[in-house]
Structure 1
Amino acid sequence: MKTLFLTFALVLTSLFSFSQDSGVTLTLTIDNVISDKGNVKMALHTVDTFMKGKGLENGQSEIKDGKVTITFENVKPGDYAVIAFHDENENNKMDFRDNGMPLESYGMSNNVMSFGPPQYEDAKFTIADKDLELNIRF
């Protein structure tokens, strides 16, 4: 009987350990979008994917009263950066002037705005073992 009880307890413990998420929730908010037209797109990147196309996680949100919130679930611990842009004309890409300057608002984690393209080291943040909330400014 004791062996049966211990076996049952071990099985339950194993089931519960497999059902737990191994990552955290990352909540990203932008509260200064200049208009509610279009949508905002965000991408979660590592150093290997930054400025090279799609991120590890990608999301988009409609804009309400100049504000959007996008959540990425089950993000594993590590270093990441987020790039966001306002796709005002909903063509699913960032639009640029002939001289290379952006036509649409954009931002990145850590809210560093510099001349030239965004740099991973400027936008990098670390996810550990707790849920994280970040505010990105356009």
Structure 2
Amino acid sequence: MKTLTSIIVLTLSVFFGNAQESEEKGQTITVTIENIMNNNGQVLLTLHNEATFMKAAPLKSENSEIKDGKVSITFKNITPGTYAIIALHDANNNNRMDFADSGMPKESFAVSNNPVLYGPPQFAQAKFNVTSENIEMKLMF
């Protein structure tokens, strides 16, 4: 009986130990935006590497309802590397950026590092490194 109990305890400790390790792999990136013009729609965030930035589907995406002109969104389990974030205030909940006939965006957007943009965002302006620390950043629309 002692042997069976020991085996069960050992098995459970290995299972819970591995489960905890898998939950803790990678870092988190928490993005806060506090200057949203209104509470209409949602904010969409996309995480990119250089190969996907403005070219392909994001590595990860998250969205959040807006409360009092603010959102806070966290990407979890991010492996070390170089990334950029694109944020969109999707005011009409159509899950995409809307453009005027002139080609200018109708909805507010931002990219990581909050660069002053004169044209489409570039990865070089928005990139940041994820290392062994969690990241917290603020974006401005």
Both structures adopt the same fold (TM-score exceeding 0.5): yes
Large movers: runs of 4+ above 2 Å = 12-19
Find the aligned partners of 1:42 and 1:54 in 2 and give their Cα distance.
12
Structure 2 residue 113 is matched with structure 1 residue 107:
no
Find the aligned partners of 1:70 and 1:51 in 2 and give their Cα distance.
20
Q: Quote the residue 2:17 is aligned against.
A: 16
| Alignment RMSD (CA, Å) | 2.0
Checking the alignment, whether the CA contact within 8 Å between 1:107 and 1:113 is kept in structure 2 is no
Displacement, 1:99?
1.1
Unaligned regions of 5+ residues in structure 2, if any?
A: 1-9
SS of 1:103's partner is coil
Q: Quote the residue 2:126 is aligned against.
A: 123
Unaligned regions of 5+ residues in structure 1, if any?
A: 1-8
**Pick aligned residue for 1:94 from 94, 97, 107:** 97
SS of 1:100's partner is coil
Find the aligned partners of 1:50 and 1:122 in 2 and give their Cα distance.
11
Find the aligned partners of 1:60 and 1:15 in 2 and give their Cα distance.
30
Matches within 5 A, 1:126-137: 126-137=129-140
Q: Quote the residue 2:76 is aligned against.
A: 73
Matches within 5 A, 1:46-85: 46-85=49-88
**Pick aligned residue for 1:30 from 30, 33, 38:** 33
Identity of aligned residues (%): 46
Residue-by-residue CA offset, 1:61-100 (whole Å, 9 max, x unaligned) = 0000100011111100110000001000111110011111
Q: Which moved more, 1:104-113 or 1:20-29?
A: 20-29
Aligned pair count reads: 130
Q: Quote the residue 2:7 is aligned against.
A: none
From the superposition, tell whether residues 53 and 88 of structure 1 become closer, same or farther in structure 2 (CA, over 3 Å).
farther
